[in-house]
Amino acid sequence: MTNPVLDAIKNRRTVLRFESTKIEQEKVNAVLEAGQWAPSWLNKQPWSFIVVTDQNIKEKLSQVVPTIFVQGLKEAPICIAVAVDTEEDPHHFVEDGSVAVQNMALAAYSLGLHSGWIGVFNLEGERKSAESQVRKILELSETHRVIALLPIGRARQEVSKTERKTLYQITYQNKYGQH
């Protein structure tokens, strides 16, 4: 079975390098709207989306993310930081933020764009973690946690296809291990 949503899910890939071509504001808004419509615990919608276009801020962010993402973060015309307010949803803020990031990554792909999901959330909330440094750069309050950075743009090179495990390898009936 195929349909546009399944096609986006199957074909979206993390991109590490981007063209610097500007993205139309209409597409940026559509990506943000996809995040806005993500499900959340009790419909709390605890997220905030910080759209970073300032090259100096992207440079600062690139200094604290894992090295594989540095160049792409600098190159992408925009980077959306997804933060969640832990006071609005103290129980499921990680899931809420993650599903918003996924919605935005899929929306970007469906609009002919690419993204590179950079997970920065630090489970322990350590002061010197990438997440802590991102929070400081973006001047977020103490109640906000950063789930991910999502650079978005057009891929600099062709995106490679990847293989997936078969459904048989990951699906069980009633109990784990039963096929």
pLDDT score recorded for residue 126: 84
Burial class (CB in 10 A: 0-12, 13-18, 19+), 145: buried
- What is the CATH code of the structural domain delimited by 4-170? 3.40.109.10
pLDDT score recorded for residue 127: 81
Q: Could you read off the pLDDT of 7-35 as tens digits, one per residue?
A: 999 989 999 999 989 999 999 999 999 99
Average pLDDT of the chain, as a whole number: 94
The residue assigned the tokens 């690139």 is 62
Percent of the chain whose predicted confidence (pLDDT) is above 90: 84
Mean pLDDT of 55-59: 97
Percent of the chain whose predicted confidence (pLDDT) is above 70: 100
Q: How many CB atoms lie within 10 A of CB 82?
A: 26
Burial class (CB in 10 A: 0-12, 13-18, 19+), 116: buried
pLDDT score recorded for residue 130: 94
Ordered by start, the domain boundaries in the chain are: 4-170
Would you state the torsion angle of the CA atoms of residues 162, 122, 83, 137, taken in this order, to the nearest 10 degrees?
-110
Q: In which band, very low, low, confident or very high, does the pLDDT at 158 lie, cut at 50, 70 and 90?
A: confident
